[in-house]
Amino acid sequence: MLGDERTMSIDLAEIAAKSGIKYFLISYTDLFGTQRAKLVPAAAIAGMQKSGAGFAGFATWLDMTPADPDLFAVPDPASLTILPWKPSVGWLAADLWMDGKPVAHAPRTVLKTQLAAAAELGLTLKTGVECEFFLTTPDGTLVSDSADTQVKPCYDQQALMRRYDVITEICDAMQTLGWRPYQNDHEDANGQFEMNWLYDEALITADRHAFFKYMAKSIAEKHGLRATFMPKPFANLTGNGCHIHISLWRGDTNAVAATQASDFLSQLGLNFIGGLIHSADALAALLNPTVNSYKRINAPRTVSGATWAPNTVTWTGNNRTHMIRVPEGDRFELRLPDGAANPYLMPAAILAAGLDGIAEARDPGPRLDINMYTEGHTVEGAKKLPLNLLDSLRALDACAPLRARMPELVPAYLKLKLAEWNSYTAHLTQWERDTTLDC
Binding mask 141-180 for Mg ion (x = CB under 5 A): ----------------------------------------
Query: Is 30 or 194 the residue whose CB approaches Mg ion more closely?
Result: 194
Residues whose CB is less than 8 angstroms from the CB of residue 58 and which lie 6 or more positions away in sequence, other chains included: 64, 65, 66, 68
Binding status of residue 333 toward Mg ion by CB under 5 A: no
Residues whose CB is less than 8 angstroms from the CB of residue 439 and which lie 6 or more positions away in sequence, other chains included: none
Q: Which backbone phi and psi does 132 adopt, to 5 degrees?
A: -80, 145
Query: Is 194 or 281 the residue whose CB approaches Mg ion more closely?
Result: 194
14: number of CA atoms within 13 Å, CB side? 4
CB 334 within 8 Å of CB 353: no
Residues whose CB is less than 8 angstroms from the CB of residue 174 and which lie 6 or more positions away in sequence, other chains included: 180, 181, 195, 197, 212
Binding mask 251-280 for Mg ion (x = CB under 5 A): ------------------------------
Work out how close the CB of 215 gets to Mg ion at its nearest, in angstroms, rounded to a whole number. 18
Q: Which backbone phi and psi does 98 adopt, to 5 degrees?
A: -150, 140
- The DSSP result for 332-397, as a single string, is EEE---BTTS-TTHHHHHHHHHHHHHHHTT--------S-HHHHGGGSSSPPBPPSSHHHHHHHHH
Interatomic CA distance for residues 372 and 439, integer angstroms: 38
When binding is defined by CB under 5 A, the residue of 76, 145, 156, 194 that contacts Mg ion is: 194
Taking CB atoms, the residue at the shortest distance from Mg ion is 194
Work out how close the CB of 134 gets to Mg ion at its nearest, in angstroms, rounded to a whole number. 12
Query: Is 278 or 296 the residue whose CB approaches Mg ion more closely?
Result: 296
Burial of 291 (0-12, 13-18, 19+ CB in 10 A): middle
Stretch that binds Mg ion, among 157-165, 191-199, 265-273, 393-401 (CB under 5 A): 191-199
Work out how close the CB of 67 gets to Mg ion at its nearest, in angstroms, rounded to a whole number. 45
Query: Is 153 or 401 the residue whose CB approaches Mg ion more closely?
Result: 153
Looking at residue 180, its amino acid is R
Interatomic CA distance for residues 140 and 234, integer angstroms: 10
Work out how close the CB of 130 gets to Mg ion at its nearest, in angstroms, rounded to a whole number. 5
Query: Is 131 or 396 the residue whose CB approaches Mg ion more closely?
Result: 131
Stretch that binds Mg ion, among 137-145, 186-194, 288-296, 310-318 (CB under 5 A): 186-194
Interatomic CA distance for residues 326 and 367, integer angstroms: 10
Work out how close the CB of 141 gets to Mg ion at its nearest, in angstroms, rounded to a whole number. 23
Stretch that binds Mg ion, among 15-23, 149-157, 172-180, 188-196 (CB under 5 A): 188-196
CB 61 within 8 Å of CB 51: no
Work out how close the CB of 389 gets to Mg ion at its nearest, in angstroms, rounded to a whole number. 23
Work out how close the CB of 272 gets to Mg ion at its nearest, in angstroms, rounded to a whole number. 23
Query: Is 131 or 277 the residue whose CB approaches Mg ion more closely?
Result: 131
Work out how close the CB of 241 gets to Mg ion at its nearest, in angstroms, rounded to a whole number. 6
Work out how close the CB of 333 gets to Mg ion at its nearest, in angstroms, rounded to a whole number. 10
Pairing state between β 23-29 and 89-98: parallel
Query: Is 306 or 418 the residue whose CB approaches Mg ion more closely?
Result: 306
Interatomic CA distance for residues 294 and 111, integer angstroms: 25
Query: Is 68 or 130 the residue whose CB approaches Mg ion more closely?
Result: 130
Interatomic CA distance for residues 47 and 101, integer angstroms: 18
Total site size for Mg ion, rule CB under 5 A:
1
Query: Is 145 or 194 the residue whose CB approaches Mg ion more closely?
Result: 194
> Residues interacting with Mg ion, by CB under 5 A?
194
